[in-house]
Structure 1
Amino acid sequence: MNNNDKIKESYKTATSYPDLAKKLSQIGVESYTVDTASGTILYRFKNGENILHEGNHNARTIAENFDSQKTIDAIRNNQQGKSDYPDFMNEIAAAGVRFYEATLSGDNKRVTYIGIGGFYEEAIP
């Protein structure tokens, strides 16, 4: 199974975001970046390989300025099962998140949500 197939399998079998992060890390993903407008994801592997998953929908409009409380609310809604991934992406776009970076290696595993004028960082359990 190639790394692209391993990524897809990780998403299919994950039961939660922490589980997904663990599965991606186990297959060698060190980090990945998601472009909020397009949904494009760049995966970076420990061995230097990069895999790009192109977004497959119309570009989202991103709010001009970053709003940390709206970002936190979007994250909590998703964690509590109140939103699916497309809704989550729309909510963080409305909060001004231009992209987010998930760091899956090292002692400080985290997701950093970044927009104009601010960012919010959350640890991955």
Structure 2
Amino acid sequence: MFDLKEIKEAHAKVKTGADFPKYIQELIKLGVKKYNTYVSNGRTVYFGNDKYEIKSERKYATLTIANISDKERFKHFLKSHQRGQTDYPTFCNNAAATGVEKWTVDMSLMTCTYYDKLNSTMLKENIPTP
């Protein structure tokens, strides 16, 4: 099964959102089936086969998640990030400011879904193959 060291090594190769599809392919090879990332502190919970689960540590100081979500503004920030125009900390700050509480990446569906504080879907995207 995978461990946090392997995931960190794969994540270290990600410089911008443009690198995300390659990162997902590496996680699939490690055996990650799904993960949830929490915007407030960057903690991620990774899931594998047979209820295997590991949690990362928080990655940064606590961000305040906006109570009211702004899907359109978030889409704009996401597109900029996917084009490589922002780094990960900037993307997380922008996500928090627009009400994104977490995102879930599902490797079997090849989707990334962003949720607000009410656990309502703000945006669901298909993950492109590199």
Q: Same fold, TM exceeding 0.5?
A: yes
Number of aligned residue pairs: give it: 123
Describe the shift of the 1:18–1:2 C-alpha distance in structure 2 as closer, same or farther (beyond 3 A). closer
Q: Report the TM-score when normalising by structure 2.
A: 0.86
Percent identity reads 28
Deviates more, 1:2-11 or 1:55-64: 2-11
Q: In the alignment, which residue of structure 1 is the partner of 2:82?
A: 79
Deviations 1:55-93 (A, max 9, x none): 132210111112111221121111111110000000011
Letter in 2 for 1:26: K
Q: Secondary structure at the match of 1:32?
A: strand
Q: Out of 53, 58, 64, which is 1:55 matched to?
A: 58
Q: Report the TM-score when normalising by structure 1.
A: 0.89
CA–CA separation in structure 1 for the residues paired with 2:80 and 2:65: 19
CA–CA separation in structure 2 for the residues paired with 1:13 and 1:100: 20
Q: Which runs of 5+ in 1 are unaligned?
A: none
- Kindly state the Cα deviation for residue 26 of structure 1 after the two structures are TM-superposed: 1.0
Letter in 2 for 1:8: K
Q: List structure 1 segments (4+ residues) > 6 angstroms apart after TM superposition.
A: none
**What is the alpha-carbon root mean square deviation over aligned residues?**
1.8
CA–CA separation in structure 2 for the residues paired with 1:31 and 1:2: 12
The structure in which a higher percent of residues are strand is 1
- Kindly state the Cα deviation for residue 21 of structure 1 after the two structures are TM-superposed: 0.6
